[in-house]
Amino acid sequence: MTRTEKAEALHASGCACSQAVFGAFAAEYGVETGLAVRLASGLGAGIGRLQLTCGAVSGGVLALGLALGNATGAEQDKKEASYAAAREFVAAIEAEFGASGCRELLEGNDLRTEEGKERIKAAGLQQKVCAPIIRRSVELVEEALAARGLR
């Protein structure tokens, strides 16, 4: 199963976008998938349904940090590498989708209200926005890792 397929399966099972993207990478970098899904749970729907940074973006940044980041304060070069990768990743999402914020991506609809959820469902935004951004987030993280000699 590819990472994209794994992310899609996690999302289809009820996981948030953040959980789906991070969960697709975690096991390969030493974090059990169930733990990764729990770690990313609060980032769903733009951080606890506040609709700030898109969950798929947050999950991608977590994956980049897991693969590239520093484990100690002495590893400043790794921290800077993960910052650079995160900036590039977010910029690519914004260039392609027009935003990296959940509320903007979901056309201003409020996920904390039943009316907002119904409008999102009626407009098919899960399939038009969420599914493609999950797939693209996985692809962009893969590209970032490959560019740095990682898989």
What pLDDT does residue 91 have?
98
What pLDDT does residue 151 have?
82
What pLDDT does residue 65 have?
97
Task: Average the pLDDT over 13-29 and give the result.
Answer: 97
pLDDT tens digits for 121-130?
999 999 999 9
Task: Average the pLDDT over 22-39 and give the result.
Answer: 97
The domain spans of the chain are 3-147
Q: Is the pLDDT of residue 62 over 90?
A: yes
Who's near 21: CB < 8 A, 6+ residues apart? 7, 40, 55, 56, 59, 60, 62, 63, 134, 137, 138, 141
Average pLDDT, the chain: 97
What pLDDT does residue 33 have?
97
What pLDDT does residue 57 have?
98
Task: Average the pLDDT over 56-62 and give the result.
Answer: 98
Q: Read off the amino acid at residue 8.
A: E
